[in-house]
C-alpha cells in the first residue's frame, strides 16, 4: 500500500489499540461518521484502577485543597509543555487550574494524580472535565482531557498509556464514552490541525527573550512603533462583561457557534463559568449599543503565562490567548484590535490566537505572525471521516 505521510508509517503501539480514527483508515469512505465503539453496560466497566509500576500509587487530586493545588501547580510548572527549542514552559497559575478543572458538573474523580509510594511526591497528572460538544447536528457528552504530565525523570516508561486508560475508565464510570483533546504531537488521527499566530504587544521583551526576532531591515525602534496600539478601545459601548450579561452572551454565542462543524454546546451556567471575567484567568468584553443597549459583539481571552528558561533579565512571559469571539455589528478586526488594546493595558507581552473560527480574517491585518508549532485536535471514540479546515472548528481547549 502507498504510504503518503510520515505519521502513517510510524507505529503507535498504544494508540493502535484505541477507538480512534486510525491512519490506515484515512480515506476509507465505507466507515461511518460517529461513535466507533458502542457503550458497554456500566456493570462491565472495570471496577478497579489499572495497575501502576509498584513504586507508584494513584491519588485523586482535590483541587479545593490549597496544598494539593500547589503540588499540581509545581509538577506542571517544572514538567509540562515546552516549545521545540526549550526556551519556554507553560506556567498555568493555581487560580487558572481551579477554573479549568471545576466547571459546572465536574467530577473530582477525573483529577488524577500518581504519587511515589515512598515519598508521596506527585509525579504524574491527567484530568478530564465534562462538556457537551456538538458535532454537526449531534450533541455528544464528552470529557475534555488536559494536563497530561509525567515528571521528566519518569519519561518513556509507558506511564502515559496507563494514565490515559485510567482516565478513560473513570469517564466510562460516569456513562460518558467520548472525549476531546489537543496535542502538539501527531497521533491517530487529528480532526483538524491548527496553527498558532502571535501578536507582539511588548516587542522589545519578546526579542530579548528569544520569543521573536528583529525583522529583516528593522531596528528596535521601528519595531516598537510598528506594534504600537492606542491607549484605550475605540469601539463605542465596548466594556467588560458582567454577571447581568450572561443570558445575552449565551444567546449571542450559541447562535454564533452553531455555524461550525464542532463546537461546545454552552448553556448559561457554562457561560458564567467559562466567560465571566475572573482576575488573571479569563477576561471578556462586549459591545453594548449606545442607542439600543443591545449586546452585539463579544471577545474573550485567557491568561496563560510561560516560564522563560534561562534568561538573565526575565523569568515570565505574559501571554493572552484568544478564546471565543463573536461579531455581529462591529467588524471582527476592530473588535480584536480593541482586545489587543485591553490586553496591552493589562501588561500582556503577547496575544496568541489559533486559526480557528473566523480568526484568519483578522490575523494578518492586525500584525499577528505565524508561530512554528501546530496544534492538533482529536476526538476519542468519534470518527469524522474527512478532516476539517481549522475555520470549521468552533472549539478552544485550554
Residues that bind ligand NHW (CB under 6 A): 12-15, 79-81, 143, 145-150, 155-161, 164, 167-168, 171, 177-179, 181-183, 185, 187, 380-381
Q: 3-state class of 64 per DSSP?
A: coil
Least distance in angstroms from the C-beta of 164 to ligand NHW = 5
Q: Are 309 and 209 in contact (CB under 8 A)?
A: no
Query: Where in the sequence numbering do the catalytic residues fall?
Result: 398
Q: Which is nearer to ligand NHW, 107 or 333 (CB)?
A: 107
Grid coordinates representing 166 are 485510567
CA separation, residue 395 to residues 181, 219, 257, 265, 379 (Å): 10, 38, 9, 10, 12
Q: Please, which residue, 144 or 288, has the CB nearer to ligand NHW?
A: 144
Q: Which is nearer to ligand NHW, 38 or 185 (CB)?
A: 185
Cβ within 8 Å of residue 143, ≥6 positions away: 110, 128, 129, 130, 131, 167, 171, 176, 178, 179, 180
Helix or strand run (H / E) with residue 378 = strand 369-380
- String of DSSP letters for 327-353: ESSS-HHHHHHHHHHHHHHTT-SEEEE
Choice between 23 and 211, CB closer to ligand NHW: 23
Where in 151-281 does DSSP place strands (E)?
178-183, 192-200, 238-240, 262-264
Q: Beta-carbon neighbour count of residue 39 at 10 Å?
A: 14
Based on CB atoms, which residue is closest to ligand NHW, 100 or 249? Answer: 100
Q: Smallest distance, Å, CB 393 to ligand NHW?
A: 16
Beta carbon of residue 265, minimum distance to ligand NHW (angstroms, whole number): 17
* Lateral strand order in the sheet of 306-308: 88-90, 306-308, 316-317
- The CB density around residue 4, as the number of other CB atoms within 10 Å, is 9
Nine cell digits for residue 48: 478497579
DSSP state of 174: T
Q: Which residues contact 228 (CB under 8 A, 6 or more apart)?
A: none
Contact 176, 42 (CB under 8 A): no
Cα(35)–Cα(40) distance, rounded to whole angstroms?
13
Shortest spacing between CB 65 and ligand NHW, in angstroms: 22
3-state secondary structure of 280: coil
The nearest distance, CB 103 to ligand NHW, in angstroms, is: 16
Q: Which is nearer to ligand NHW, 38 or 216 (CB)?
A: 38
Nearer to ligand NHW, 22 or 223 (CB): 22
Amino acid at each position: 500500500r502507498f504510504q503518503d505521510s510520515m505519521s502513517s508509517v510510524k507505529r503507535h503501539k498504544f494508540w493502535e489499540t484505541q477507538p480512534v480514527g486510525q491512519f490506515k483508515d484515512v480515506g476509507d469512505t465505507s466507515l461511518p461518521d460517529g461513535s466507533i465503539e458502542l457503550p458497554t453496560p456500566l456493570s462491565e466497566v472495570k471496577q478497579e484502577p489499572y495497575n501502576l509500576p509498584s513504586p507508584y500509587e494513584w491519588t485523586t487530586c482535590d483541587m479545593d485543597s490549597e496544598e494539593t493545588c500547589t503540588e499540581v501547580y509545581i509538577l506542571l510548572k517544572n514538567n509540562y509543555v515546552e516549545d521545540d527549542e526549550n526556551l519556554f514552559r507553560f506556567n498555568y497559575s493555581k487560580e487558572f487550574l481551579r477554573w479549568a478543572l471545576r466547571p459546572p458538573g465536574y467530577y473530582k474523580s477525573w483529577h488524577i494524580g500518581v504519587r511515589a509510594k515512598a515519598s508521596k511526591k506527585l509525579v504524574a497528572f491527567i484530568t478530564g472535565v465534562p462538556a457537551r460538544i456538538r458535532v454537526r447536528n449531534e450533541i455528544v457528552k464528552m470529557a475534555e482531557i488536559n494536563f497530561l504530565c509525567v515528571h521528566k525523570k519518569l519519561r518513556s516508561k509507558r506511564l502515559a498509556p496507563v494514565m490515559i486508560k485510567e482516565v478513560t475508565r473513570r469517564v466510562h464510570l460516569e456513562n460518558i464514552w467520548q472525549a476531546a483533546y489537543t496535542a502538539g504531537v501527531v497521533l491517530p488521527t487529528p480532526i483538524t490541525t491548527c496553527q498558532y499566530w502571535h501578536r507582539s504587544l511588548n516587542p522589545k521583551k519578546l526579542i530579548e527573550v528569544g520569543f521573536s526576532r528583529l525583522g529583516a531591515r528593522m531596528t528596535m525602534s521601528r519595531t516598537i512603533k510598528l506594534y504600537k496600539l492606542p491607549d484605550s478601545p475605540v469601539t463605542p459601548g465596548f466594556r467588560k462583561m458582567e454577571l447581568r450579561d450572561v443570558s445575552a452572551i449565551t444567546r449571542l454565542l450559541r447562535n454564533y457557534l452553531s455555524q461550525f462543524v464542532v463546537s461546545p454546546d454552552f448553556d448559561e451556567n457554562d457561560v458564567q463559568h467559562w466567560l465571566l471575567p475572573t482576575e488573571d484567568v479569563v477576561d471578556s468584553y462586549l459591545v453594548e449599543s449606545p442607542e439600543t443597549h443591545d449586546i452585539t459583539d463579544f471577545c474573550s481571552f485567557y491568561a496563560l503565562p510561560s516560564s522563560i528558561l534561562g534568561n538573565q533579565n526575565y523569568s515570565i512571559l505574559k501571554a493572552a490567548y484568544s478564546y471565543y469571539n463573536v461579531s455581529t455589528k462591529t467588524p471582527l478586526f476592530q473588535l480584536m484590535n480593541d482586545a489587543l488594546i485591553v490586553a496591552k493595558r493589562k501588561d500582556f507581552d503577547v496575544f496568541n490566537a489559533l486559526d480557528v473560527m473566523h480568526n484568519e480574517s483578522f490575523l494578518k491585518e492586525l500584525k499577528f505572525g505565524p508561530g512554528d508549532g501546530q496544534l492538533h485536535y482529536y476526538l476519542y471514540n468519534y470518527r469524522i471521516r474527512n478532516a476539517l479546515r481549522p475555520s470549521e472548528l468552533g472549539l478552544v481547549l485550554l
